[in-house]
């Protein structure tokens, strides 16, 4: 029995086969990078504009200056040896993927959707970069979900992250997308400096209350060449150890609405780029630890929610 509702379960149920995400660089920038809000970016943001925080599938393909069709074809070619009979999701991951005029966005998204085998789009963006015009566009194309960075419900933590939007912005955009029938995935970071178990549980409770389609949970990674790595090297702060991270995630799963799809429970940043914590490199070990903890404590997703 599965103790949580994972993405692969959801995709198999809905599409009858595995869907693989192809990470697309649509040539975007970000208002938190280009000087509109800040030129420094979120402290964890890598030079590649890691809207996804820890990096995701990239298949080692260098995507700069490649058109979308080329990016998709080269990743599909790499993956074809590993999987047959799979569909694909074009995942607009780098930077803020709604930060261009609507007509340009439409052309970019449609060029991905026109590629063979693409079932739909996943679009990562900022909540302050979505308005009614984006919603209207999303309603006309196959957007499987939109990803927003919640990271924490505690605005002082988000100020520390130099994120330049508030919890209220996240809530407003999530509700706006939900009302339009567009699924939302929220990202949550565990282990921000000074964050307590109770703080993290409060963020999980918020997610249950707002009930997005999905959630991605990440350990705070210190990635090279980020403002975060500079701060960490100047004034090191404590990071969660593996056992504590596993406990936080599992106890959080117990408080998470059982209909929310868990897209990720641990990040797997690129070894060459992550400074700490190095225990996250062994993703299988972390996931096994989560399964073991859930079984030992008899936790299933949502079991702590009182009716």
> Which range touches ligand SF4 (CB under 6 A), out of 30-38, 60-68, 210-218, 242-250?
30-38
Nearest to 19 by CA among 97, 120, 111: 120
> Which range touches ligand SF4 (CB under 6 A), out of 39-47, 170-178, 185-193, 222-230?
39-47
| Residue from the set 126, 154, 187, 218 that interacts with ligand SF4 by CB under 6 A | 126
Taking CB under 6 A as the rule, does residue 269 contact ligand SF4? Answer: no
Handedness of CA 261, 136, 142, 102 (dihedral sign): negative
Taking CB under 6 A as the rule, does residue 96 contact ligand SF4? Answer: yes
Taking CB under 6 A as the rule, does residue 45 contact ligand SF4? Answer: yes
Minimum CB–partner distance for residue 252 and ligand SF4 (Å):
22
User: 70-73 — which CB contacts under 8 Å span 24+ positions?
Assistant: 71/22, 71/24, 71/25, 72/22, 72/24, 72/112, 72/115, 72/118, 73/115
Q: Give yes or no for a contact between 124 and 170, defined as CB atoms under 8 angstroms apart.
A: no
Question: Helices 167-179 and 132-140: crossing angle, nearest 10°?
Answer: 40
Taking CB under 6 A as the rule, does residue 152 contact ligand SF4? Answer: no
Taking CB under 6 A as the rule, does residue 216 contact ligand SF4? Answer: no
Residue 95 or 293 having the CB closest to ligand SF4? 95
Minimum CB–partner distance for residue 159 and ligand SF4 (Å):
13
| Residue from the set 41, 120, 252, 254 that interacts with ligand SF4 by CB under 6 A | 41
Taking CB under 6 A as the rule, does residue 148 contact ligand SF4? Answer: no
Taking CB under 6 A as the rule, does residue 98 contact ligand SF4? Answer: no
Taking CB under 6 A as the rule, does residue 32 contact ligand SF4? Answer: yes
Taking CB under 6 A as the rule, does residue 30 contact ligand SF4? Answer: yes
Q: Give yes or no for a contact between 7 and 261, defined as CB atoms under 8 angstroms apart.
A: yes
Taking CB under 6 A as the rule, does residue 26 contact ligand SF4? Answer: no
Q: Which residues bind ligand SF4 (CB under 6 A)?
A: 30, 32-33, 41-42, 45, 49-51, 95-96, 126
């Amino acid at each position: 029995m599965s103790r949580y509702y994972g993405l692969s379960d959801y995709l198999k149920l809905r599409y009858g086969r595995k869907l693989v995400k192809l990470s697309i660089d649509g040539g975007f920038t970000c208002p938190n990078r280009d000087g509109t809000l800040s030129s420094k970016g979120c402290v964890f943001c890598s030079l590649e504009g890691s809207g996804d925080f820890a990096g995701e599938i990239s298949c080692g393909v260098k995507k700069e200056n490649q058109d979308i069709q080329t990016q998709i074809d080269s990743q599909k070619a790499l993956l074809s040896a590993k999987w047959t009979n799979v569909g694909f999701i074009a995942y607009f991951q780098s930077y803020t993927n709604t930060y261009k005029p609507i007509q340009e966005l439409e052309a970019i998204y449609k060029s991905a959707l026109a590629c063979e085998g693409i079932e739909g789009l996943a679009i990562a963006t900022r909540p302050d970069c979505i308005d009614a015009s984006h919603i209207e566009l999303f309603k006309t194309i196959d957007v499987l979900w939109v990803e927003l960075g919640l990271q924490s419900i505690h605005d002082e933590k988000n100020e520390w992250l130099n994120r330049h939007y508030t919890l209220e912005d996240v809530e407003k955009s999530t509700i706006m997308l939900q009302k339009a029938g567009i699924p939302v995935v929220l990202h949550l970071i565990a282990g921000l400096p000074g964050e307590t178990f109770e703080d993290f549980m409060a963020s999980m409770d918020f997610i249950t209350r707002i009930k997005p389609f999905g959630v991605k949970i990440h350990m705070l990674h210190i990635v090279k060449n980020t403002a975060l790595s500079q701060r960490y090297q100047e004034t090191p702060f404590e990071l969660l150890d593996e056992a504590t991270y596993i406990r936080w995630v599992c106890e959080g799963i117990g408080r998470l609405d059982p209909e929310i799809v868990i897209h990720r429970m641990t990040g797997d940043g690129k070894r060459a780029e992550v400074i700490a914590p190095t225990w996250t490199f062994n993703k299988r070990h972390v996931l096994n630890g989560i399964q073991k903890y859930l079984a030992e404590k008899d936790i299933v997703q949502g079991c702590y929610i009182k009716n």
